[in-house]
Amino acid sequence: MFDRYSIAASADQIQSFFSVDPHGFDKPRYNAAPSQLLPVITIGTAGLSHFYWGTAPEWSKNEQISERPAIRKQIKKYRCLIPADGFYGWKKVGKKTSIPYRFEMNPKGLFAMAGTWEEYDDEQGNMIHTFMIVTVQAGASVAAICERMPAILTKEESMVWLNAESTEEELLACLHPFEGKLESFSVSPRINDISADDATMIMPTPPADQHGNLTLFN
């Protein structure tokens, strides 16, 4: 399962790493979750936008990118990068027991996740922008915890992803299991509460299930 990440960086760090104006980014996010307003970088922009992390529609589940006509169409035009410095996954250790883990770069630092975005009018006629994070099969550093992970892009792949002239073949080539080294460690089950958003979210804690009960599994 993947529905949490963090962007616990400063505006200056985002500006330096992504070469964008970080306007609007006013605080770190330790527990970014679906439905929240979060920073993204879209094609042809020089700064951050803030879109809602939308839930995945039915056609995006249980299929590979190359088999999804709808998302392939979205990728051709509506692409974005999602800045992050870590993400979370849950390791199942029983029918009703799972343990949250955090994944970070080694050494620690920012990275870009591949995403798509869309816009629509809500019931009041307001324009809403949402984004989705593209996921891929988990790489070696993640597979022991969960089956899928966000598509992490290198700097070169990020340039391809945000190039309006990139071909579908070039774009799909960016979407692969991460080949670099990721560190992982168990974190507090408070990560399950989307209202919890403080620095303790990214600190290692003894393995505990979603109810806070310590477990021998890790």
In the chain, the domains with their CATH numbers are 5-83+108-181 (3.90.1680.10)
Range of lowest pLDDT (70-84, 98-112, 133-147) = 70-84
Any idea which residue has 């073949």 for tokens? Answer: 169
62 or 204: which leads in pLDDT: 204
DSSP tally for the chain: helices H, then strands E: 4, 13
Q: What is the average pLDDT across 98-110?
A: 94
Q: How many CB atoms lie within 10 A of CB 24?
A: 12
Q: 43: helix, coil or strand?
A: coil
pLDDT of residue 59: 38
pLDDT of residue 210: 59
pLDDT of residue 63: 44
- What tens digit of pLDDT does each residue of 142-186 get? 999 999 999 999 999 999 999 999 999 999 999 999 988 899 999
As a whole number of angstroms, the distance between CA 208 and CA 216 comes to 8
pLDDT of residue 216: 55
Q: What is the phi/psi pair of residue 87, to 5°?
A: -145, 165
pLDDT value at 1 more than 90: no
Handedness of CA 60, 103, 177, 129 (dihedral sign): positive
As a whole number of angstroms, the distance between CA 148 and CA 142 comes to 8
- What tens digit of pLDDT does each residue of 58-81 get? 434 444 555 565 566 667 778 999
pLDDT value at 217 more than 60: no
- Token output for 106: 């080694």
Query: What residues contact residue 170 under an 8 Å CB cut-off, 6+ apart?
Result: 160
pLDDT value at 127 more than 50: yes
As a whole number of angstroms, the distance between CA 149 and CA 86 comes to 11
Q: What is the CA radius of gyration of the chain?
A: 17
State the chain's mean pLDDT as an integer.
87
- Token output for 75: 């990728």
92 or 110: which leads in pLDDT: 110
Q: Which stretch of DSSP H or E encloses residue 75?
A: helix 69-77
